[in-house]
Amino acid sequence: MAKRRKKKKTRLQKTWRFLKFQIFLIVLVIAAIIYYYSGGYATKVSQLHSEAVDLVASSDESTFRSAQTSIAYDVNGETITVMKGEKDVYYVSYNDLPVYLKDAIVSIEDKRFYQHHGVDYKGIARAIWAMIRNREVTQGASTITQQLARNVFLTQDKTWERKIEEIYIAVELEKKYSKEEILEYYLNNIYFGNGYYGIGAAARGYFNCDVKDLTLSQTAFLCGIPNNPTTYDPLTNFDNTINRRDRILKNMLEDKKISQASYITATTETITLNPPATQAKNDYLTTYTNYCATRVLMGIEGFEFKNEFKSEEEKKAYQESYDDLYNQCNQKLFTGGYRIYTSLDINVQNELQDTIDTTLTSFDETGDDGIYELQSAAVCIDNTTGMVKAIVGGRTQENIAGYTLNRGYQSYRQPGSTIKPLLVYTPALELGYTPDTSVSDSEIEDGPSNADGKYLGTITLRRAVELSRNTVAYNILSEIGPSTGLEYLYNLGFTKLDENDNRPIAALGALTNGVSPLEMAKGYATLENAGASRDPGCIIQITDSSGNVLYQHEQVENVVYTADAARQMTDILEGVLTEGTAKGLGLGDMPCAGKTGTTNDSKDGWFVGYTPYYTTSVWVGYDNPRTLTGLTGASYPGQIWQKFMLKVHEGLDPISFTDAISVMNHGDASWNESITSPEEGAENQPESPEQSTEMTEGTSGEGENQGGDSNPTGEIDNGITEGTVVE
């Protein structure tokens, strides 16, 4: 009897709990409905639905073919590049789309495409469950129709309003157009990276062929890109694209769209990119303009750029967020109809490019891809504005098609002794050292040696810099603390620093991932600018096609070093070109300062130097690091720097660094306030004095300790040893 009463009581308790839960849900739903209507959401949603109906009703085939052209100009009003998503030129009708292509894109993007009516509610539920199970987003929930709605009619903003309207538009599209038409429009509008909108433009841009001539493997390769054109960019992340190709082929096999034999053949096929020979987008000014403009659009969207993270998880999350928004904003450049005005100067660019080409003309060895083995990169910053004047990412090549790596900002290499002023000596000057402080150049047990194997005993700090003594830099960084020195590099905006760089050997350029020529130019331009760093971008203004200003650059200064420390460092670096490792690389009567850098076994050579007018950094080396006999900072890099700087300073009055502080009026951004379109005359373009050049550093018998070598993407072998000797 007692057991029966207990069971009955248990049933009543369960029933009561169930009823309470149901009452809670009902109250929650009622509250949500009240909030929905009283908060104005009902009106807003109704408005979004009406807009969606009108947008689709007014659309026709031409809606899915149109794209506005964006144009970028240099500082003199000359056209740098025309950015156009050539959808209309390479449009492919449904009947001309290969069956494999249709199957591949449906298999990877929207398996239930032919079953749903614009929105896949089962897919949404599946994606939510996968997110709960894996504690991260592993599946997308947007259908092909929703993606089409977003790409053609909407922005990429991640708001609830945009998502609701996207759903409404997708439903309306399915009412008006057939599945075949939607798939046709989708494949002709999705973004395949690098300015290619639509499968026709992608096939022509990556493989120089028509869509009908693509192999199954090439088709799957291209279909992998739109999911994330940054992560799966064939030019910068080729292996990622191959891995996604294989995943798509596996999906097609599982969906019985291809046979086992076709699967094996396609996954083992070697993919070789073959872009057309006539492509104006290879230009280094174009790629840098594209990069800078994309980041400006990201800033407009409210993105906060970072280069320092508390954990690997935070860093990973940031990178994913960065890649996602970068991809979205990069797409806008090719459809937004922008007019982009830059600080770049085609004439200065040509001069820098020609100097690199002529200096290295005797090195004609090429790899299997026809690219010169020995390479160089250089960046010139206008010290009046702090912005980039010219950027060269490699040597000029004849008959080389397609984009090439822009080593000016995309490659990260070991900096050798050029890092010493930024990481060691200017911080030390802030902390009480002076140019005349006595320091000891003596042997260090288990530490670095000097390049010449000699030790000078007690010398001044000034002389230690001029002769690039490794032992002195190592000892000083050990004293002030590697973390202290690294914080200056973080404040300068260096992006590839690693927690493993927190060690004394970093004083000699032994950094885990290396630095870019752009970062080095910015660092030395900061010294010239009395310790205040500025953004070395190139975008002055962006307008829409009607001339309405969407972005106006306002240069912001970030004080990294004290003015006294920066000026003392400049004074010391002037001696490098008169009494030190760069002796003989001066510019005549024009005051100049700089530093040389050479890494292990002469694999990387650097020269970074500046005048009151310009700062220029120069790197010379192989993409796959190897020894170049005779390479020092003062050899090929120093020669390039000197020849170029002499040329761009022609006609400019010599001015001391001290006088430049008042004469050059640092920090005055008024130069960019009266921008006009090229049609109004190049003479009305924003002033950027013909007194803006780069700086570079030269090496001559200097000693630098550095270990691992970086590849073009910045990854290096970490076999750095404390006793390594570098010149």
Report the amino acid identity of residue 306.
Answer: K
Whether residue 160 is predicted with pLDDT greater than 90 in this model: the reply is no
| 3-state DSSP of 9-63 | HHHHHHHHHHHHHHHHHHHHHHHHHHHHHHCCHHHHHHHHHHHHHHHHHCCCHHH
Residue 11 pLDDT class (50, 70, 90 cuts): low
Q: What is the pLDDT of residue 44?
A: 66
Q: What is the pLDDT of residue 640?
A: 98
Whole-Å CA distances, 660 to 322, 334, 429, 536, 657: 38, 41, 21, 20, 5
Which of 207, 213, 260, 271 is CA-nearest to residue 238? 271
Whether 591 and 618 have beta carbons less than 8 Å apart is answered as no
Measured CA to CA, the distance from residue 691 to residue 291 in angstroms comes to 25
Whole-Å CA distances, 367 to 21, 37, 634: 70, 67, 27
Helix (H, G, I), strand (E, B) or coil at 552: strand
Q: What is the pLDDT of residue 275?
A: 79
Measured CA to CA, the distance from residue 697 to residue 585 in angstroms comes to 9
For residue 128 the two structure tokens come to 């939510």
Q: How many Cβ atoms from other residues are within 10 Å of residue 677's Cβ?
A: 15
For residue 634 the two structure tokens come to 């003062």
Token match 């990178």: residue?
A: 319
Q: Which is higher by pLDDT, 33 or 471?
A: 471
Whether 727 and 451 have beta carbons less than 8 Å apart is answered as yes
Residue 213 DSSP symbol: G
Residue 77 DSSP symbol: S
Q: What is the pLDDT of residue 658?
A: 82
CA atoms within 13 A on the CB side of 98: 20
Which of 690, 719, 17 is CA-nearest to residue 345? 690
- Domain 348-544+553-684, architecture per CATH: 3-Layer(aba) Sandwich (3.40)
Average pLDDT over residues 199-226: 94
Token match 């630098």: residue?
A: 704
Whether 517 and 379 have beta carbons less than 8 Å apart is answered as yes
Whether residue 163 is predicted with pLDDT greater than 80 in this model: the reply is no
CA atoms within 13 A on the CB side of 380: 37
Whether 610 and 593 have beta carbons less than 8 Å apart is answered as yes
Look up the pTM and report it: 0.74
Beginning with the edge strand found earlier in the chain, give each strand of the sheet holding 593-598 in spatial order.
387-392, 374-382, 614-622, 604-610, 593-598
Measured CA to CA, the distance from residue 568 to residue 408 in angstroms comes to 28
Beginning with the edge strand found earlier in the chain, give each strand of the sheet holding 339-342 in spatial order.
79-83, 70-73, 339-342, 539-543, 549-552
Q: What is the pLDDT of residue 42?
A: 65
Average pLDDT over residues 467-471: 96
Measured CA to CA, the distance from residue 289 to residue 538 in angstroms comes to 7
Whether 453 and 486 have beta carbons less than 8 Å apart is answered as no
Strands 339-342 and 70-73: parallel
Summarised one tens digit per residue, pLDDT across range 360-389 is 999 999 988 888 999 999 999 999 999 999
Q: Which is higher by pLDDT, 162 or 490?
A: 490
Whether 469 and 512 have beta carbons less than 8 Å apart is answered as no
Q: Which percentage of the chain shows pLDDT scores above 90? A: 60
Best-predicted range by mean pLDDT (44-58, 487-501, 699-713): 487-501
Report the amino acid identity of residue 522.
Answer: K
Residue 652 pLDDT class (50, 70, 90 cuts): very high
Whether residue 709 is predicted with pLDDT greater than 60 in this model: the reply is no
Residue 271 pLDDT class (50, 70, 90 cuts): very high
Which of 66, 105, 96 is CA-nearest to residue 200? 96
Average pLDDT of the chain, as a whole number: 84
Whether 696 and 609 have beta carbons less than 8 Å apart is answered as yes
Q: What is the pLDDT of residue 671?
A: 39
Summarised one tens digit per residue, pLDDT across range 128-143 is 555 455 544 444 468 9
Whole-Å CA distances, 325 to 330, 627, 638: 8, 39, 39
Q: Domain spans of the chain?
A: 348-544+553-684
Measured CA to CA, the distance from residue 48 to residue 43 in angstroms comes to 9
Measured CA to CA, the distance from residue 494 to residue 187 in angstroms comes to 39
SS3 content of the chain, % helix, strand, coil (to 5): 45, 10, 40
Residue 482 pLDDT class (50, 70, 90 cuts): very high
Lowest-pLDDT range of 214-223, 233-242, 264-273, 656-665 = 656-665
Average pLDDT over residues 446-457: 91
Long-range CB pairs of 52-60 (<8 Å, 24+ gap) are: 52/165, 52/168, 52/169, 52/171, 52/172, 53/168, 53/172, 55/153, 55/169, 55/172, 56/169, 56/172, 56/173, 56/175, 56/176, 57/172, 57/176, 59/176
Whether residue 454 is predicted with pLDDT greater than 80 in this model: the reply is yes
Q: Which is higher by pLDDT, 271 or 398?
A: 271
Collect all residues with Cβ–Cβ distance below 8 Å to 563 and sequence separation of at least 6. Answer: 530, 531
Summarised one tens digit per residue, pLDDT across range 561-580 is 999 999 999 999 999 999 99
Average pLDDT over residues 614-626: 96
For residue 314 the two structure tokens come to 């935070």
Measured CA to CA, the distance from residue 421 to residue 428 in angstroms comes to 9
Q: What is the pLDDT of residue 127?
A: 54
Average pLDDT over residues 175-203: 91
Average pLDDT over residues 638-666: 85
Residue 552, phi then psi, degrees to nearest 5: -130, 120
Average pLDDT over residues 418-425: 98
Cα of first residue to Cα of last residue in the chain, in angstroms, is 95
Summarised one tens digit per residue, pLDDT across range 304-357 is 999 999 999 999 999 999 998 998 898 888 888 899 999 999 999 999 999 999
Residue 154 DSSP symbol: S
Whether 519 and 435 have beta carbons less than 8 Å apart is answered as no
Average pLDDT over residues 146-151: 87
Q: Which percentage of the chain shows pLDDT scores above 70? A: 79
Whether residue 157 is predicted with pLDDT greater than 90 in this model: the reply is no
Residue 198 DSSP symbol: S
Residue 686 DSSP symbol: P
Task: Convert 322-338 to b/e letters by CB count within 10 Å (16 or more is b).
Answer: beebbbbbbbbbbbbbb
| Burial environment of residue 388 by CB neighbours within 10 A (0 to 12, 13 to 18, 19 or more) | buried
Q: What is the pLDDT of residue 412?
A: 96
Q: What is the pLDDT of residue 29?
A: 61
Q: What is the pLDDT of residue 141?
A: 61
Summarised one tens digit per residue, pLDDT across range 87-137 is 656 889 999 999 999 999 999 988 889 988 888 877 666 655 554 555 444
Summarised one tens digit per residue, pLDDT across range 233-256 is 998 899 999 999 999 999 999 999
For residue 668 the two structure tokens come to 């005055």
Whether 708 and 726 have beta carbons less than 8 Å apart is answered as no
